[in-house]
Copies of this chain bind each other. A is one copy, B any other.
């Protein structure tokens, strides 16, 4: 079980083990049996409720174009049942994404996520990421490759 630690500590370990390392086994320890993507514009799972198996599928598919992706937490804020993370993400674009073929180049993105907890487990999130910034980097790389 994850526990032993504050929710900020749990969230930092969740981001490291699940999203940075891609551990499917860690999903079972950190994620609630029903997980709700409350708001995440541009994410294919926006608005959906996910079982643990569906969460694992989202993890695998999301990481596929950027297998070395890494979320670096900038700050964490805790209030009520939620922890808010500001973060910067980096990844090398080694798989196709939204019509852009793999470029082999590093991409970066910033975002802010509100994670809701039930006990020690995350039950959902409300997130906004700078997807226009990513889109422009991918466009630039595609043009440079012509």
Contact = CB atoms under 8 A, between A and B. Distances in A.
A37 to B, nearest CB: 13
Nearest to A130: B41
A100 interface: no
Interface stretch (A49-57, A65-73, A109-117): A109-117
Interface residues of A, number: 26
Report copies per complex. 2
Contact of A133 (B41, B78, B133): B41
A128 interface: yes
Contact of A77 (B114, B128, B131): B114
Contacts of A82: 75, 77
B80 A130 contact: no
A39 interface: yes
Interface of A: 39, 41-42, 74-75, 77-80, 82, 84, 86, 110-114, 126-133, 135
